[in-house]
Structure 1
Amino acid sequence: MEKGKYRAVILLFIVGYFFITVFNILPPKTNWVSPKPKPALPPLLTSQQSITPLPNTKHFLVSSFMDRRVEGFDIRIIGIFRRDSIHPLHCIFFCAGFYSETTSASVLLHSDHYGFPFGATDVLCRIPENCDATHVTLLTQPSPVNVSDHLWLPIRNKKTPSKENRLNFTVCISNLYGDYNNVLQFAQTLEMYKLLGVNRVVIYNTSCGPELDRLLKIYSQEGFVEMVQWPIDKYLNPSRGWRVRVHKGDLQYFGQIVTLNECIYRSMERSRYVLLNDIDEIIMPYKHDNLNVLMDSLQPLHSNVAEFLIESHIFPKKYFEPSGRFHLPQWSNVPGINILEHIYREDPDRKKFLHYKMIVQPKLVQQTSVHEVLKKYGKRYKVPWDLCRFIHVHVARRTSLKLEELNEDKRLWDFQEKLIPNVDKALERAGLLATED
């Protein structure tokens, strides 16, 4: 009986195997293969320059910023465009691992271009859904081809700094060019701004003299100056003035308007106020100890003001304070103007164009020119000149005025006890201070 059972089991196994083999009852044999990895994207070519040519156009890109203040758009690109060569453009984004579909770009030329062929330009872009955009570039065609070969701009202002890390005042100095080497006035101005409460100075540098370059490196190392290299002369023939018929060239004043706008957006999320002025100007409160106290007094009454206009007053550099009190021996070999020696101030001719510079609240500004904001979300306020004005030691503007017709103004002397030793220390660090024999 036991043998019969074993034979029956063996017979059933043989019959079952026969049916399975002949009629292919078992599922087909498969070889498991691991899924093929998606091809890796080539490394992103991020632009390392402050001026980036846009392929197949006569335009240049400068920088890009998160900006959702205009409905329907997320990104603002600051650029330099040839005004007679505007064609449709398309935005494409790098989305933290993949390229987005393209979206149409909106090109906004700035109205202040002074007739030069190239001008400051904004390009507005919309980020597609489900794209965590980190970089952006522009295309001339809606269908991207070889986008990995393009230079991409990193998107700035994506993160808002904490209130503790936010600056109160940033000064934007538009351009250094022509081997500018006014070292002494530059050092005095920067140290004066420190005493007035400025936290950072942003400078766009095309060229400067060797002594000034040494001083700039010292201030950059300590973090007070932020240097932006601005090689505009490698791409265009920049003008040295604002009148195109007189000064010629492709772009006004080495791109002054472009850099002022770039600086506003660069500072938008990190600075409460931005001062727009030239390197030889100091915005000076006359009834307050510093800029913080001045603006704290104005802000409650003018919280919706985007631009505070400040009169610029010339102190002609040809007239000197007669006693020579501040003609200091340690500065004798330092190139540049000693602002403490110039105490005679012109009254502006208010029947003509008044030269204003500005303190702006950057989050309320869209586009600016040199002497006024072009597009803004707030109002304008002209600060009374006896409350605050620019000290501008420069060539005389009203050349017909004689010395006795000028006003004596020694406001800078109120700071001389701290200003002079601070300037000495800065010059000494740069190896520019005369040593005693």
Structure 2
Amino acid sequence: MDEIKGLRRKLFLLFIITFVSIFIFTVSSSRRNRSIPNHRRATSICPSHVSDQTITPLNNTKHLLVSAFKDQRVKGFDIRIIGVFRRDSIQPLHCRFCCEGSLSITTPANILQHSDNFGFPFVATDVMCPIPENCNATHVTLLPQPESGIASNQIWLPIRNRKTNMDEEEKLQFNFTVCISNLFGDYNNVLQFAQTLEMYRLLGVGRVVIYNTSCGPELDRLLQIYSQDGFLEIVPWPIHQHLNPSKGWLFSEHGGDVHYFGQLATLNECIYRSMERSRYVLLNDIDEIIMPYQHDNLMSMMNMLEEQHPNTGVFLIKNHIFPKKHFEPSGRFHLPQWIGLPGVNILEHIYREEPSINAYHPHKMILQPRLVEQTSVHEVIKHMGNHFQVPQEICRIIHVRVALQRALTLEELNVDKRLWDFHEKLVPNVDKVLKRAGLLNSEGQG
């Protein structure tokens, strides 16, 4: 009997200890939950679908999203989403974040259309989002209503440029990045492309970014070689799958949905893509070379310009046309191994137009990306610091293309052999990359 009573006492004590333990755990958990912000108490269900595309349709709208970047240079906002929005159907939007696996509360978005739209229905757009307090955001999505639920097909964008306290001089991977806005229309100018990229290598460029809608088969082989080397970053740009892109710059003349295959969105995206990796960004077309005329490389030129013009974020470079209809008469660089290759041999074109004082001549630019918010094609829309127009005796754009001033005779053009200063390294480097792409062999074109 005594043994039974002893057993009962032990069971009762065990019950009391278990009850007290459960009570203490419940109170402790409740206190911990009250101390955690709302966005951290949400169910860990994000992100369910992360976009792996370079163009992502925004659910239940006519808008397209490109990419999201952390950008704390604008007071009150932390995230910049670059997109292409239809101007006549812009409605309020709200930002929701994934905070290391948990949903945040929503915050109101500020939608900024870029001022240059050239009359087209769709325009490059920035969506600015504030991040809720105590949220270490990794992904962002946009919603039409505040605090609305997350649909099963909701698409999230990863947030880039999340480094903190970056020491510019120590952490930047490249001194110069060239941004080429768009390849389209089965572009296949292989020889000029190779010459341009190899010229930029000699000038000190470490990386080229190109947005590719379509290109010819030979150029595609060359792109893959440069990509394998890590010198070229190819960003797929299937804008034609979403919109009717224009091949011209003005809606009233060319029609379509968006200017030049979405050129303004890609130029801005490239600036932000390069912000944590490159000291300078060059914005120019694939048939243009930003060429220093008093220095052997871009870094030496920029060191001089920055010393003379501190706190300058935008350097404007004047365009100079080298008409491709005029050839250097000796044929010195009419090389047999390049005969039959698609494209223009820029070394054969040494005659330069003098820009007319009565005409507008668009610039291209060298930028410090951390001092730029928004850009157009030929000028920056929003930036910090100063801008400076570089004198043409210091730097010009070598632009081999159809003549701009078609009435000029050969005698009225200037002889400019600046490219020839680099021929000893340029020619073998071009041959080497063309051969690697299977476009050249020792006897001639393969």
TM-score, with structure 1 as normaliser: 0.92
Aligned partner of 1:126 in structure 2 is: 130
Question: Is 1:222 the equivalent of 2:226?
Answer: no
Please name the residue that 1:267 is paired with: 274
Deviation, structure 1 residue 435: 4.1
Structure 2 letter corresponding to 1:369: S
CA distance in 2, matches of 1:217, 1:161: 33
Alpha-carbon shift at residue 193 of structure 1 (Å)? 0.1
Q: CA shift at 1:166, angstroms? A: 2.5
Letter in 2 for 1:126: P
**Structure 2 counterpart of 1:213:** 220
Give the counterpart letter for 2:135 in structure 1. C
Structure 2: state its 5+ residue gaps: 30-41
2:94 matches 1:87: no
Determine the C-alpha separation between the residues in 2 that align with 1:180 and 1:58.
29
Q: Of 260, 279, 298, which aligns to 1:253?
A: 260
In the other structure, the counterpart of 1:358 is 365
Offset, 1:42? 6.3
1:380 deviates by 1.2
State how far apart, in whole Å, the 2-side matches of 1:39 and 1:231 are. Answer: 35
Measured after TM superposition, the shift of residue 138 of structure 1 is 0.6
In structure 2, what residue type is equivalent to 1:182? N
Contact kept? 2:78, 2:130, Cα under 8 Å: yes
Match of 1:61 among 65, 82, 85: 65
Task: Give the direction of change, closer, same or farther, for the CA distance of 1:40–1:264 in structure 2 (3 Å limit).
Answer: closer
Deviation (angstroms), 1:41: 2.5
Q: Is the 8 A contact 1:120 1:257 kept in 2?
A: yes
Deviations 1:69-122 (A, max 9, x none): 110000000000001111000000011110100000000000001000001000
Partner of 2:54: 50
Secondary structure (helix, strand or coil) at the match of 2:59 reads coil
User: How far does residue 244 in structure 1 lie from its aligned partner after superposition?
Assistant: 0.9
SS in 2 for 1:213: helix
Report the alpha carbon displacement of residue 144 of structure 1 after superposing the two structures with TM: 2.5
- Counterparts of 1:270-419 in structure 2, within 5 Å, are 270-419=277-426
Give CA deviations for 1:181-235 in whole Å, capped at 9, x if unaligned. Answer: 0000000000000000001000000000000000000000000000000000000
Match of 2:147 among 137, 143, 146: 143
User: Letter of the aligned partner of 1:218 in structure 2?
Assistant: I
The residue type paired with residue 75 of structure 2 is: E
* Cα offsets for 1:383-405 (capped at 9, x unmatched): 00111000000001111111110
Task: Report the aligned-residue RMSD.
Answer: 2.7
Contact kept in structure 2, 1:215 and 1:427, CA below 8 Å: yes
Deviation at 1:318, TM superposition (A): 0.4
Query: d(CA) in 2 for partners of 1:360 and 1:126?
Result: 26
- The 3 A distance-change label for structure 1 pair 323 and 117 is same
Question: Structure 1: which amino acid aligns with 2:409?
Answer: K
Any conservation in 2 of the 1:314–1:396 contact (CA below 8 Å)? yes
Q: Please, which moves more after superposition, 141-150 or 194-203? A: 141-150
User: Residues 113 and 126 of structure 2 are in contact (CA less than 8 Å); yes or no, is this contact kept in structure 1?
Assistant: yes
Fraction of identical pairs, as percent? 64
The answer (yes or no) to whether the contact 1:84–1:117 under 8 Å persists in 2 is yes
8 A Cα contact 1:347 1:406, kept in partner: yes
CA 1:427 to 1:27, structure 2 compared with 1: closer, same or farther past 3 Å? closer
Contact residue 73 and residue 124 of structure 1 kept, 8 A: yes
Contact kept, 8 Å, 2:43 with 2:103, in 1: the verdict is no
CA contact (8 A) 1:309 1:356 kept: yes
Q: Distance in 2 between matches of 1:88 and 1:164?
A: 38
